Amino acid sequence: MNARALKILRAAKLLPLLLLLVLPAVAQAKNFYTNSFGIWTYSPSTGPITISAYSGSVSAVTIPSQINGFPVTSLSLAALAGSGMTSVTIPDSVISIGGNVFSSCSSLTSVTIGAGVTGIGGSTFSFCTSLTGVYFQGNSPTPTNDSTVFSGDTNVVVYYLPGTTGGGAMFDGFPTELWNPQAQTSGASFGVRTNRFGFNITGTSNLVIVVEACTNLANQTWTSVGTNTLTTGSAYFSDPQWTNYPSRYYRLRSP
């Protein structure tokens, strides 16, 4: 066998090996879900869903509770890091929030955490420098206990509901407050006054309360109509536009 034939034979023997090395480099297709809040990257395509990335420009974001009929149960490492949102609501379906999920969301001021969450990873809200309110809808989960959940933040207050557990004096190094606003529907302050309808709101001192209104409970569209701070545990809300509607309903929420 001459030298040229030997080279060809050796190349032919190497070809299957080269193919084996190339084939694993083929990338797996990513799953994307789009709704009014933006584009969500997730896995797997069936079964409990983990969100791994988000892209959108909406200021007030609600994380989906389901994708294609499957529950969203976790947010993976840095899934929403660096997003420009100002507020985010995490649904009750979510059980686990990974580390650094909202890291460096510098415009984020308010977070509502659903009742299903049982674990929060390290540095989840690190360097969210505008963050002031974290609102737990259920029992407070166990944080990392290494004081990194809010690392780089300075003005966070963690709020919990009456009857829930975990509302100690501090949560991972930051103070907690009871979220207990109530609209007072009796007394001299309740009802119609000159050119307005109003009522007192009471609760823990310094709570910031947003009042929303709608005109049809069967087809609800809630609109913010006022923001009150309970500076001394009480504030008066008034609605000068109430005469423009045949009926109007009110509710209280966090900022």
Reported as a single tens digit per residue, the pLDDT across 38-71 is 999 999 999 999 999 999 999 999 999 999 999 9
Long-range contacts of 148-152 (CB under 8 A, 24+ apart): 148/122, 148/123, 148/172, 149/120, 149/122, 149/123, 149/124, 149/125, 149/173, 150/125, 150/126, 150/174, 151/123, 151/126, 151/127, 152/126, 152/127, 152/128
Q: Tell me, what's the pLDDT at 39?
A: 97
Least confident of 11-15, 45-49, 138-142, 168-172: 11-15
Question: Does residue 8 have a pLDDT over 60?
Answer: no
The proportion of the chain whose per-residue pLDDT surpasses 90, expressed as a percent, equals 74
Reported as a single tens digit per residue, the pLDDT across 194-240 is 888 999 999 999 999 999 999 999 999 999 999 999 999 999 999 99
Q: Tell me, what's the pLDDT at 4?
A: 46
**Cα 96 from Cα 218, distance rounded (Å):** 33
**Cα 184 from Cα 203, distance rounded (Å):** 10
**Cα 35 from Cα 51, distance rounded (Å):** 14
- What would the mean pLDDT of 144-149 be, rounded to a whole number? 76
Nearest 5°: the CA angle 68, 36, 33 is: 35
Q: Tell me, what's the pLDDT at 255?
A: 85
134, 132, 181: which is closest to 160 by C-alpha?
134
Q: Tell me, what's the pLDDT at 145?
A: 57
More confident site: 181 or 246: 181
Reported as a single tens digit per residue, the pLDDT across 79-106 is 999 999 999 999 999 999 999 999 999 9
- What would the mean pLDDT of 27-34 be, rounded to a whole number? 76
More confident site: 183 or 13: 183
Q: Tell me, what's the pLDDT at 195?
A: 83
Task: Specify which residues 23 forms β-bridges with.
Answer: none
Reported as a single tens digit per residue, the pLDDT across 147-173 is 899 999 999 999 999 999 877 889 999
